[in-house]
Structure 1
């Protein structure tokens, strides 16, 4: 498999080496030839000096035969334009763009271009741990591009302890993605009993989120049989 990467910073060079170590071919594009010093010799052989959305630079990097394209330069505009050219002009199936502005990321995800906003994601994750009440600890961890589904992290009430995962899913019309059990990630079966202290990561409809959280968060809430606890 051949993969083209725009941007030879720390992320781009790390991606290039990882892809090579997995047995794939890779070409890296950057407008600064000095950036290729980050590449080991085997990856530097396929380096292309140029602008990521320039057709000639992309062709020299092998975009016509590429199975994937990653735009991870330092500029949002460069990344998204290059990603659209790779997807819409050359028909690359797997395209990802690094976007720093979260408002732009949502727009481009709706266009079918996967985006990664590392700065915002890292800041939100840290705030969630530092200031859980102020930052909204139960805010969605992920939302699909259409806004229909969300992934939310919630602790269990004691009323649900011992109940099988399938009962939780049926009663609240959701899917349990995974459990965080004392720091261990568990992919539960339907008959897996929930334990005290489990942090449940659930996938559900966005319009049902508030109702479901009321029945899952600690404090007065309804348990499996609809009783108050």
Structure 2
């Protein structure tokens, strides 16, 4: 996995070194070269000195081929700008932003950007999301009975019709995201590998939905 980490403060260092130890390709961006001194001698990733939201800097870091971008700075505003660029300009598959403001965090999560905060044990939360929940994630609970779920289509389901995911009164496909574009699918359209589906699922039907999606 190729990961861009924006910000080399304490949180950025922890995230970067963890990913590097897991043999991922890690590039750290910070506008202060002194911050890179906090990285251990064992760190195998690369560092780039520059402004984290500068498109030229991001392109130099290879954002076009990145699997994940993680905004780790201490500024909600900066992390928000980086997340927006990564998600909507470069269409990075997974975007994570550290957020202190819970209102802004909820807004970004509704846009498909995962957020973490110190109140949610930041590093553990990032790792849990990257390693265990990339293909299936509950992004909102609508009361106690319905949940809004974000799902990434595995290769084994490519070619399956979207209509096959609908279960009357239980599971309903709301929208599809493909190559950075969102749309409401027609019933005879078929899945493509790495499509992102947004489904409403009744709470008592979650296991059935996971089985249908082979997750």
TM-score relative to the length of structure 1: 0.53
Alpha-carbon distance between aligned partners in 2 of 1:25 and 1:71, rounded to the nearest angstrom: 16
Question: Contact conserved, 2:6 with 2:52, CA < 8 A, in 1?
Answer: yes
From the two aligned structures, give the one with the greater strand fraction.
2
Partner SS state of residue 26, structure 1 = strand
Match of residue 35 from structure 1: 35
- RMSD over aligned Cα atoms: 2.7
Q: CA separation in 2, counterparts of 1:116 and 1:62?
A: 24
For 1:44 and 1:58, the matched residues in 2 are separated by: 19
Q: Within 5 Å, give how 1:149-164 maps onto structure 2.
A: none
Which of the two has higher C-alpha Rg? 1
Q: CA deviation at 1:145?
A: 3.8
Query: 1:71–1:97: 8 Å Cα contact kept in structure 2?
Result: yes
Contact 1:106 / 1:145 at 8 angstroms: preserved in 2?
no
Cα offset for 1:18?
Answer: 1.1
Distance 1:147 1:45 in 2: 38
Number of the residue aligned with 1:46: 46
Query: Is 2:142 aligned against 1:148?
Result: yes
Q: TM-score, normalised by structure 2?
A: 0.56
- Supply the distance in 1 between the matched residues of 2:88 and 2:101 (Cα, whole angstroms): 22
Question: Conserved in 2, the CA contact under 8 Å of 1:96 and 1:114?
Answer: yes
Say which structure, 1 or 2, has more relative contact order (CA 8 Å, 6+ apart): 2
Instruction: Tell me the secondary structure at the aligned position of residue 29 of structure 1.
Output: strand
C-alpha distance in 2, partners of 1:96/1:29?
15
Residues matched between the structures, number: 134
| Aligned residue number for residue 87 of structure 1 | 87
Query: For residues 42 and 64 of structure 2, what CA distance do their matches in structure 1 show?
Result: 21
Specify whether residues 146 and 31 from structure 1 end up closer, same or farther in structure 2 by C-alpha distance, changes over 3 A only: same
Q: What are the ranges of 5 or more consecutive residues in structure 2 without an aligned counterpart?
A: 122-136, 145-201, 204-215
